[in-house]
Structure formats: structure tokens, C-alpha cells
Amino acid sequence: MSNNIIIKNAKLIKTGETVNITVKNGIISGISSGESLKNHENYIIIDAGGNYISPGFIDLHVHLRDPGFTHKEDIETGTKAAVKGGVTTICCMPNTKPVIDNPTEIKYILGHKSYCNVLPVAAITESQNGEKLTDFTELKKSGAIAFSDDGKPVENDDLMREALVKSRENNTLIMSHCEDMKLAHGGVMNDGETLKKINREYNLNLKGIPNEAEDKITKRDIDLACETNARLHICHISSGKSADYVADAKQRGFKITAETCPHYFVLTDEDILKYGVNAKMNPPLRSFYDREKIIDGIKSGVIDCISTDHAPHSRSEKCDDGEKTIDLTKLQNSMNGITGLETSFALGFTYLVKQNHITLEKLIDLMTINPAKIIGIDDKYGTIEIGKAADFVIFSTDEKFIFDKEKSHSKSKNTPFHGFELYGKILYTIVGGEMVYKKI
């Protein structure tokens, strides 16, 4: 498809104005409500039909599983799922095999076929073993957008402090997975009343993961970032107290940002009883109180953006035999994580906007310009302005749909949101002026 397109009859979110947007060579060249569509013979015209247009969504936290675990997902299938969900830029996490800890693996990621922009996040430590820092300077030069040992924390305090100093010196970002591994060890879900109920009624002895496992490392990493004057991004906040730690650091003027995921503002640990292994994740689903604190954090701006922590696994790895009857004994052996790229916007619109927690404009900011600013790509992405990249998503706020995981473009189907009635249907996704997804 040509990189020269005109999108007509598209409604802007901030103003409500219906405009035509002209794109030349993948860059926005014109925005006008009165622009003539004549003299554009070599342009492809896409009619938005009066639906909303937004900058393409930016997801800071995605597991593409490539290289090494391509039975779960690969770069092509993961990015195909992304554009179906309106996501045009993703940051892929380094816990692959081999780990993304050297320029060769960065080159592998950047050289692969993809449907959207893929920005590699490099490991903080070599092989993510928590013993020796990677070469931040060389990895950034090779194309790493940030650094994380996601999947586990950097447990050694001194090494984490050194990592933050190196990130500051290289003007890059640390993305922290906050989990005290000793406190979380062996846990399968939130340590709360629902776990007690499951153990009692099913005669099990499942171990819980206390909020403290997340809170302890969140506080440590924030304290270290404040001490070193480094930028720090807290991944997948699920605990209300961790959100409070972020709020406090922001009030004191430190460079702390944070994300949460749709499952933490839609579900609680009680939903394990409904969805079983497909509601098992790390951090785990928390209490009703924590969910309300997460929503409050989104409303107040303490939480800067919505990411997915898209974590595909095969059915066997999730211990999911496809039966409708929930077998909670399988929680112990099931791997953590759910897919999320195709549902993130619809869940945000349905559960945040339609329930009057935030405006549509706020949701779009959480999924576009805010994450763009966090990783420093807002000069090119995150807004609809002349001279910016022509990455767009066109969506309907009125069309209701039922999410069917079997029609997902991801290789894996591990989601608790199968059968959910949602609003916010993606109609078109455009990356660099090329239409990469169209609703059938």
C-alpha cells in the first residue's frame, strides 16, 4: 500500500472536529476540515465514516517471546495482534532465550518482519542473572529504548543503585519489575480472603503472594532512584500501597513514572473463581480495595499509562484443557500471564470511560502521548500533528462486540476476557501511512 493516503471524515478526540488528514511518505502533511480531496490522484483514500481517530496506541510492556519461545508467540504474530488492538508501537521485554542483553539480539529484533514499530528493551543484567550489568552505552547505541530485567527484580541493592547511575549517565530509562522473590516464592495468587476460601472449600494448601512482595521493592527502587536522581518506571502496578509510593515520589519532584494493566482495573482476586488459570498472573490480581486504588491512581495521574504486560503461553503451559469447569488445583503448575494487546483499549473504554472514571481524551493520553514521553519518542509519535509519523487508529465507541479469543491473531489464547461484552471497536490501524489492519 502507498504511504500517501488521505483519511477523510475522521473525528478528532480533543476538539470533536471532523477533518481530513493528508499523509505523504508516511508523515502527516495536512489536517483540515475544508481541504479539497482533489489533486491527490496518487493518494489512497480511507473513509473514517465520522468515527474517532487517535494517534496509534503505544504499549511499553509486551512479551513477544522471540527468540527462543516462538511456540507461544513471535514478532510477526505478536505485532499482528497488536495492530488488531490499535497498538502501533510496542516495547518488547528482554526475557527471551537468549536474553536481549547484547547488540546481536537487538539487531535480531529490529531486523524482523513486523506489523508495527518494535522497540527493544534490553536487560539490566547479563542473562538477567542479577550479577553483572550489561553495557548500557553499547546497547542504547544499538537501539535499546530502555532497560529492564522484567520477570524478576534486580535483587542486589548495590547493583540496582549502580544500574540507576548508569541509566542516568546514558540518559535512558530503567523499567522495574517490583517483586521481593523471597516473599512471593511459591505463591499462586493474592494472599487474601479469596485464597483462604479456595483452600478451605477445595481442601488445598495454595500459597499466596502478599502485597508486601510488590510494595517492598517498589519502595526500594523509588528510594534508590531518588537518591541517584535517575529516571525510573514502575511496571504493572497492582497494589494500592505501591501507587501511594509513586504518588509521594512525584509530589517530591522525582522522575518516577508508572504503568498499570487493564486486568488490574477490571478484575480482582475473586475472579480466579470464574476464570481459573487464565486469571493467574504476576503480580497477581489483588483485592477490591487495591483495584479501587489503581483506578484512583489513573484518575489522579499518579499512574501515567496503560500497558498490557502481554504474556502469551501455550494451553499446556497454562494447564488449560479447554474445559468450562474450573479446576483450581491447576493453579500451582500454571504459568503466570495473560495476553492483552487486542483488548487493552476496549477494556479501558468499557471499564474506565463508560463508567465515568475518566474521559475518552484522558484514556487516549494514557495510551499515546504519555507513554511516548516516558520513552522519549514524543517528537515523532503520540499526537496527530503535521510533521509527526502517520500512525493512527480509527475506532467506534458505539459498536458493541463480544471478544472471542479463538479469533485472536496471537498464537496463544490465555485470556480471562473471552466472551466479555466490550465497546471501543478498532476499525482501522495505520502505521507509517500504511493500513495494517481493517475490520472485516
Three-class DSSP labels, 387-408: CCECCEEEEEEEEEEECCHHHC
- pLDDT per residue as tens, the chain (440 positions): 468 999 999 999 999 999 999 999 999 999 998 655 666 778 899 999 999 999 999 999 999 999 999 999 999 999 999 999 999 999 999 999 999 999 999 999 999 999 999 999 999 999 999 999 999 999 999 999 999 999 999 999 999 999 999 999 999 999 999 999 999 999 999 999 999 999 999 999 999 999 999 999 999 999 999 999 999 999 999 999 999 999 999 999 999 999 999 999 999 999 999 999 999 999 999 999 999 999 999 999 999 999 999 999 999 999 998 887 889 999 999 999 999 999 999 999 999 999 999 999 999 999 999 999 999 999 999 999 999 999 999 999 999 999 999 999 999 999 999 999 999 999 999 999 999 999 98
Q: What is the pLDDT of residue 118?
A: 98
End-to-end CA distance of the chain: 18
Task: Please tell me the total count of domains within the chain.
Answer: 1
User: From CA 348, how far away is CA 426, in angstroms rounded?
Assistant: 13
- Spatial CB neighbours of 433, under 8 Å, sequence gap ≥ 6: 2, 3, 4, 5, 23, 24, 25, 26, 27, 390
Specify if 279 maps to a domain: yes
User: From CA 82, how far away is CA 77, in angstroms rounded?
Assistant: 9
Specify if 14 maps to a domain: no
Going by C-alpha positions, the residue among 54, 63, 195, 160 that lies closest to residue 121 is 63
Specify if 411 maps to a domain: no
User: From CA 330, how far away is CA 337, in angstroms rounded?
Assistant: 14
pTM score: 0.97
Distances (CA, A) of 71 to 109, 315, 411, 421: 17, 11, 8, 29
Which residue reads 496471537 in cell numbers?
410
Specify if 6 maps to a domain: no
**Parent domain of 125:** 56-380
User: From CA 29, how far away is CA 6, in angstroms rounded?
Assistant: 10
Percent of residues in the chain assigned helix, strand, coil, to nearest 5: 35, 25, 45
Contact between 416 and 408 (Cβ < 8 Å): no
Contact between 23 and 6 (Cβ < 8 Å): yes
Q: What is the pLDDT of residue 35?
A: 59
Which CATH number belongs to the domain containing residue 308 in this structure? 3.20.20.140
Specify if 266 maps to a domain: yes
For 127, which DSSP code? G
Specify if 137 maps to a domain: yes
Going by C-alpha positions, the residue among 257, 260, 296, 302 that lies closest to residue 281 is 260
Is residue 309 part of the annotated active site? The answer reads yes
* Count of helices and strands (H, E) across the chain: 14, 18
Q: What is the pLDDT of residue 323?
A: 80
Active-site position among 309, 320, 365, 391: 309
Q: What is the pLDDT of residue 3?
A: 82
Q: What is the pLDDT of residue 388?
A: 98
| Residue 44, phi then psi, degrees to nearest 5 | -90, 135
- The full length of the chain comes to 440
Specify if 317 maps to a domain: yes
Ranges of beta strands (E only) in 13-105 are: 18-24, 27-32, 44-47, 52-55, 57-62, 87-92
Residue 100's identity, in one-letter code, is I
Please compute Rg for the chain using Cα positions: 21
* Ramachandran class of 173: left when φ > 0, alpha when ψ lies in -120 to 50, beta otherwise: beta
Instruction: Count other Cβ atoms within 10 Å, centred on residue 344.
Output: 25
User: From CA 226, how far away is CA 336, in angstroms rounded?
Assistant: 31
Q: What is the pLDDT of residue 322?
A: 82
Specify if 33 maps to a domain: no
